[in-house]
Amino acid sequence: MDTFQLFIAIISLAAVFSIINRKLLKLPDTIGVMLLAILTAGGFGLYSFVDKETFMNACQLVEQIDFKEIVFDFLLGFLLFAGAIHVNLTALLKERGPVIIYASFGVLISTLLIGTALYGIVTLLSLNINYLYCLVFGALISPTDPVAVLALLKKAGAPKDLEIKIVGESLFNDGVGIVVFLSIFSLATMMEEFSMSHIGLEFLQEAGGGLAMGALLGYVGSRLIQNLRKQPILAVHVSLAIVMGGYSLSSLLHVSGALAMVMAGLMVGNTLRKESACKELQVHMNVFWKVIDEILNSVLFVLIGVEIIALDFNLNYLIVGLLAIVIVLVSRFISVVMANVFLRKEHRSDLMQMYILTWAGLRGGISIALALSLPEGEIRDALLFTTYVVVVFSIIVQGLTIERLILKLLK
């Protein structure tokens, strides 16, 4: 089966799982779809005791899916732009301090804490993973992905300032987390050829260049869309070209395509909210990107679920993964607390909000895609398995309980 046929199969599977979830499970879409994909993968695992050959064929089919390529080269640009276009830029600018601090300083602190704690655990279990690779894990697991929690935040009536902090942080820390991951990974694999100044310059080029590219794309896109307000379908086409062309161009220029898409989406979305914007244009753009967002999110969470079938089970890896859940949550809380120190008093979160910020920090497809990009070997197997355990726990357990937590803490 070629890549195109596999992708068609994944989209079809996502549609079937979405329908089953809506009719039977009635869970939030992304959580329900992923849970059904995991149960399907588990069913194949049990079926291996009856027919091992069919199970092995299923494993080979899943291994043909290039998860990293699908996420980074296709899904990520669309999902970040679609998420950003629906964020109120004015509200985001009011909370720019917390968003910037959480998405930058928070990611760095979280990376250091998680990596250091993980190194202690793998040393106790006699696993051959050095400190730099533990930091690599810290970097890939630190970016939050609140796709599954945003609807729950609104349903639970979370304060708007808290909601915008979570949304804004998640949009920007994806890009920051990827840049931090690439920098530490370069250091881990080419220690003699890299210096801290080199990594710092690479970080500035990726992050700064991505934001500048996004601002340029957003400005040009906004002007074009304004001029096409009487032709909404053509305006949608232009927005599609911005995402596909802009993301590819960012890759060629070696700047962060993730940050570029966030910035472009925020600027285009702000243009659509202006009073001068045509209502028909607003409807077309919002509906199109909402549909794209929901379909591709379903595809992403199906991929997360079915990829589990290709994991090599190891009891030590499971122990590390279960302990990593606690490490990630504690490190997330500490990084939020420490980030608050750098904020003005009026922007600081109280203790209840910090609990929510911690629990709402779900991990998702980006973490798995980064883990899959590691070189083949024992270290990759261990870190990939650990990543899956943390991601599945965060999406299912944290995602399904965040609404109850908000209602309890913010009465």
12-35 tens-digit pLDDT: 999 999 999 999 999 988 889 999
Mean pLDDT, range 305-331, rounded to an integer: 92
Q: Is residue 147 pLDDT above 80, yes or no?
A: no
pLDDT score for 3: 67
Residues in the chain: 411
Q: Is residue 196 pLDDT above 70, yes or no?
A: no
Q: Which residue has the higher pLDDT, 111 or 189?
A: 111
The share of the chain scoring above pLDDT 70, in percent, equals: 93
CA distance 138 to 308: 21
pLDDT score for 50: 76
Token duo for residue 40: 């399907």
pLDDT score for 205: 85
Q: Is residue 193 pLDDT above 70, yes or no?
A: no
Mean pLDDT, range 285-310, rounded to an integer: 90
Q: How many CA atoms lie within 13 A of 348 on its CB side?
A: 11
Residues 387/145, Cβ–Cβ less than 8 Å: no
Assign 363 to helix, strand or coil. Answer: coil
DSSP 218-235: HHHHHHHHHHTTT-HHHH
Mean pLDDT, range 292-302, rounded to an integer: 91
pLDDT score for 150: 65
> What's the one-letter identity of residue 361?
G
Q: Is residue 86 pLDDT above 80, yes or no?
A: yes
CA distance 211 to 179: 13
Cα separations (Å) of 384 from 96, 226, 365?
33, 45, 12
Q: Which residue has the higher pLDDT, 396 or 4?
A: 396
CA distance 138 to 239: 34
Where is mean pLDDT largest: 177-191, 315-329, 345-359?
315-329
pLDDT band at 156 (very low <50, low <70, confident <90, very high): low
Domains recognised in the chain with CATH numbers: 3-409 (1.20.1530.20)
Mean pLDDT, range 358-377, rounded to an integer: 90
pLDDT score for 1: 61
pLDDT score for 63: 81
Q: Is residue 214 pLDDT above 70, yes or no?
A: yes
Mean pLDDT, range 160-171, rounded to an integer: 87
| pTM listed for this prediction | 0.91
Q: Is residue 125 pLDDT above 80, yes or no?
A: yes
Out of 64-73, 293-302, 321-330, 387-396, least confident range = 64-73
327-350 tens-digit pLDDT: 999 999 999 999 999 898 888 889
Sequence-ordered list of residues with C-beta below 8 angstroms from that of 411, at least 6 positions apart, any chain: none
